Amino acid sequence: MAKKILGFIELVWDCDSCGTTNPGAIKTCSSCGAPQPPNVQFKHVDPQSFNFIKDQALIRAAQSGPDKHCPYCGTRNSADTSICTNCGGDLTIGATSRPVQIIEDSFQEGILPPSQGPMQSVPAPKAKMSLPVKIILVLIVIAFCAGIAVFFTKMNQTDAITGTVSGVSWQHSIQMQGYQSVAESDWLDQIPQGASPYNCEQRYRYSSEKPVANSREVCGEPYTVDTGTGIGRVQQDCHYEVYDDYCSYNTMAWVPVETLVENGTDLSPYWPEVTTSSTLRIGEQKESYTIQFDADGSTYSITTTDLELFQQALPNSRWTLEVNAFGNVRSANPVSSP
């Protein structure tokens, strides 16, 4: 994701020795003279007095890299310094640099100069969930999982009962397809050759890390990066939404035009009669067979696509049924003829 730099701001730090708040660029406490500690935490200046830095020297310092602390006296020195400004120690060996990191303080509305426009504030952290609420949620999840387990257990556990066939029904359907002009839509460069596009409109197509033709920059909320120099770099994560022409066009295609259906309540199912031509063909075909049973004063049924099984369902024939706790027939097999 591309980084967009909005500008640089001066940060502040609190002295560990006397508690004085010092400008970020100052390397020793302005009150007691104590050196800035390597683990110092830089903070934002009061948003009400916020302004981007215009001092080019400070900006160059922020861009040169994080300051480094002398391994002998702890004094903070600029990134390009090789000899400690306080004790003269060699900074090319053993010096530690402050890691560059994001400052967690949230921005507030109105901290940008008028020429830049207002920044959006970073949403405040969500309140932490209390322990009793967590316990209740865990119990709810456990109960839900237990319920699911019981449901699937009952669904898969079956009892074998004997039933007699009390009725049958079947349905055969054939989808007919016609070859005709249809309206489609796609990206302009994906439209089939020879098709004429119309009603084109600009739509978002993909995101790019770099600006490209016909793109729009989209940036997230601004945040400050501690550059390790006492100067903060205000930046945004940005990408580019690329737009392209999305158009309608007409093309010839096979499409459903009607569905022919035959139904019956006997054991001799048949298919609808069809007529085909160069512009009319058979599409999807479906078959469905239902057998009803009486068993112990209750009615059960099973639906299948197995024609051979269906044709064994003679009236009053006895079948072994595997029935689950919800009364659903999981399997059915004939055991004798009437």
Q: Looking at the predicted structure, is the pLDDT value of residue 93 above 90?
A: no
pLDDT at 293: 97
Q: Is residue 111 over pLDDT 90?
A: no
With bands split at pLDDT 50, 70 and 90, how would you rate the model's confidence at 109? very low
3 state DSSP class of 140: helix
* 173-to-229, 255, 258, 312 alpha-carbon distances in Å: 77, 16, 10, 22
| d(C-alpha 247, C-alpha 242), whole Å | 16
Q: How confident is the model at residue 50 (pLDDT cuts 50, 70, 90)?
A: low
Identity at 248, one-letter amino acid code: S
List, in sequence order, every residue forming a beta bridge with 33; answer none if it has no partner. none
Name the more confident of 165 and 40. Answer: 165
Mean pLDDT calculated for residue range 246-274: 96
Pick the residue with more confidence: 266 or 58? Answer: 266
Using pLDDT thresholds of 50, 70 and 90, give the confidence band for residue 49.
low
Give the span between the Cα atoms of 222 and 109, in whole angstroms: 11
Beta strands in the chain, from DSSP E residues, in sequence order: 2-10, 12-14, 21-23, 68-69, 76-77, 96-97, 101-103, 158-187, 198-208, 215-219, 223-226, 231-264, 280-295, 298-304, 318-324, 329-336
> Does an H or E element contain 153, and which?
helix 131-156
pLDDT higher than threshold 70 for residue 58: yes
Give 129 or 302, the one with higher predicted confidence.
302
Residue 255 has pLDDT above 90, yes or no: yes
108 pLDDT band, cuts 50/70/90, is very low
Mean pLDDT for all residues in the chain:
86
Region 81-87: mean pLDDT is: 90
Cβ(285)–Cβ(190) under 8 Å?
Answer: no
Residue 166 banded pLDDT, cuts 50, 70, 90: very high
Phi-psi region of 222 (alpha: psi -120 to 50; beta: other; left: phi over 0): beta
pLDDT value at residue 336: 59
Residue 120 has a pLDDT of: 35
- Give me the pLDDT at residue 103, please: 76
Q: Is the pLDDT of residue 155 over 70?
A: no
Q: Percent of the chain having pLDDT more than 90?
A: 50
